[in-house]
Structure 1
């Protein structure tokens, strides 16, 4: 009887210790996430302050080579002890703006991504049926009746894409972007990497995106001249490694480049904070004054159905950038014994 009592007590104690360890681990993770989140947002504020300084001093943002590629060094920012912080930039406006593309533009994009002309035309028609209220479908399977017969039935929102995940709901288009099992295809990844969901008038050629250059009509010789100049191989000594105006561009290309600009209009900033084995990620998409905007406005019909509440009076913060998107990620600590 004594042995049974000792055995039961041991089992109960083991269960209690296991539960207590799990609860302590959860609390430790939450507390660390709060600390790292504060570090990440502090680093983001420092980065935006440096960008604002450069924009005010130089009259614009053109490329990281302008000097803001290492904002922490410029601002002499040091994280707290035991924490490492890294920042990376991606010029979102170095890609063609998807909301700005019409039928010829979408067909050209499809062909640049490797589609046959007929398939590129079908894809363009499907995308415009989904995004444009005044578009008349020209392809069998893209008409509104196809959506009514779908399972479940749905209707095109007739506004710009808000997420690339919407491609799975677009008739005809999903056949190009997803396989029969519903897995994304390579074309889907290429499409998402090649265009931006944000609305701006011209892609920044300083980003040197090959597809954006080809989409703008630059031939191989012009593209090579541009990349050689940006890479420093043909750039005269003392000139900056970026373009600041259409005149500077024309001097290298020998002609203007419609659809291409020289200014950063939409910037993706990735902040990564590490403390021990824990990593917190913060990704912000920002736009300078006069830069990119979110193009996901509903059509007039949908707007009438979904009238937002009238906003109250708001005080302007005079913030130097508009934050278009903000995402957080937290890589969890490993639990004792290897359990997640």
Structure 2
């Protein structure tokens, strides 16, 4: 009898121990799930906090630009003092664990991409194809211009060295021409001649190599052309490549331009009718000025391994190109809101945690 009772007691103890183990395992699982859920929710809180810092940093940058504009009358060059807005303002994040950086790029120092005529664009592509060669054959740029025009025009008539739907449909991954203006630089990956073509390696790959990486020509093109600026090119902040192109074959003019103005005492041009600028106007059919009116703002905010990026295009005047509907359309909303809020700059486009506005 006593043995039976002992066995029952032992069974009960074993059962209790098993229950305790099961409950412990379940408790640990619940705790782990709870920790994961808390971490997940805290990510959104941290992101919103970094987002707030990013927009605050952009407001500081806009305030600095507006201050210089009010005092100086016009913005010409970062040499005026607005190139590093956060240092100028002396503002730091309230949270010491947060760091931020703001990069201002003069978008008006680029040529409006929709305002370049056939002769100048063909000459540019020919210059890129020539690379280090001293002789430039402008006929070498014709295939790229023809392909670009066939990509955007609304007809099915193929230009002499261009490509219409018949060409793109025959590719391994076929697609059609959009028959509308190019909306961003990445679109050139799809246009004949600009990406590398293994069947025609000598006359392709001007913007992207066989691995799909951007070539130096693509970098020059990004630095020289804009989808947002619709006014004169601010020669003060133009890239060396663009300055050289705008000077044509006049090496002496390019050297003088790189040295800066000889009079006035400023390291940048103020008078749009100075001798060097007047000489440039006869080289290319591109409007040239000396003031900055459209800005690209790139904000990066970090805390530990977390980061938040903000990209915006701001305009201080009317020198802005209309954006077609689509991914870039958010700029219209910003522009309307900025007018209602009396924001000193119009917001043409804005993106969070992604490149790119173009």
CA distance in 1, matches of 2:66, 2:155: 40
The answer to whether structure 1 residue 247 and structure 2 residue 262 are counterparts is no
> Aligned ranges for residues 186-265 of structure 1 at < 5 Å?
186=215, 187-218=217-248, 219-229=250-260, 239-248=265-274, 250=275, 252=276, 255-257=279-281, 259=286, 260-265=288-293
- Gaps spanning 5+ residues in structure 2: where? 1-13, 131-136, 197-204, 327-335
> Aligned ranges for residues 31-180 of structure 1 at < 5 Å?
31-82=45-96, 83-115=98-130, 117-133=138-154, 137-140=158-161, 142-147=163-168, 152-159=174-181, 161-175=182-196, 176=205, 177-178=207-208
Q: Tell me the matched-pair count.
A: 307
Give RMSD over aligned pairs: 3.3
Contact 2:144 2:192 in 1 (8 A): no
Q: What is aligned with 2:329?
A: none
Q: Output the TM-score relative to the length of structure 2.
A: 0.73
SS of alignment partner, residue 111 of structure 1: helix
Contact 1:288 1:320 in 2 (8 A): yes
The answer to whether structure 1 residue 18 and structure 2 residue 32 are counterparts is yes
Contact 1:199 1:295 in 2 (8 A): no
Contact 1:94 1:212 in 2 (8 A): no
Change beyond 3 A, Cα 1:297–1:118: farther
Contact 1:286 1:321 in 2 (8 A): yes
> Aligned ranges for residues 294-305 of structure 1 at < 5 Å?
294-296=322-324
Indicate the structure (1 or 2) with the bigger Cα radius of gyration. Answer: 2
Change beyond 3 A, Cα 1:124–1:146: same
CA distance in 1, matches of 2:290, 2:155: 32
CA distance in 1, matches of 2:68, 2:156: 42
> Aligned ranges for residues 265-304 of structure 1 at < 5 Å?
265-296=293-324
Change beyond 3 A, Cα 1:216–1:256: closer
CA distance in 1, matches of 2:148, 2:38: 50
- Gaps spanning 5+ residues in structure 1: where? 299-311, 331-340
Q: What is aligned with 1:328?
A: 352
CA distance in 1, matches of 2:146, 2:157: 9
Deviations 1:234-275 (A, max 9, x none): x56x72221122233x1x568353532211132111122223
Change beyond 3 A, Cα 1:114–1:14: farther
CA distance in 1, matches of 2:121, 2:311: 28
